[in-house]
Amino acid sequence: MMKSSRNKKVAIISAILFFIGLALFNLSGLGIVPIFIVVISFFTSLIHGWLYLSGQKETDVFTAYQNGAKTKAKALHSGLQDGKKNK
């Protein structure tokens, strides 16, 4: 049995909640609750779907952010070191 990815599961569940939130717009007694459901589930689905498609199947959002910050810092550091060597 293949192991399913956490980001894929979260993206699918968020997409389902997004469509449920859209369906809840027809009920008049809920106020702004459907808007919160739609907005939060849309962005959660978008973020986790992007993580899944980019190959980070088991990482969470914070770890992906940290990895991106480390990569950016390494690139800036190596760029500054190359500038010093050329002078």
| pLDDT at 70 (0 to 100) | 87
| pLDDT at 1 (0 to 100) | 42
What is the spatial distance between Cα 80 and Cα 54, in angstroms, rounded to a whole number? 29
| pLDDT at 14 (0 to 100) | 94
| pLDDT at 87 (0 to 100) | 57
| pLDDT at 82 (0 to 100) | 64
In this prediction the pTM is 0.69
Tens of pLDDT along the chain (87 residues) come to 455 688 888 899 999 999 999 888 887 777 888 889 999 999 999 988 888 888 877 777 778 878 888 888 888 888 777 666 655
Contacts of 35 (CB under 8 A, 6+ apart): 21
Q: Among the residues of 1-87, which ranges form H helices?
A: 6-24, 33-53, 61-86
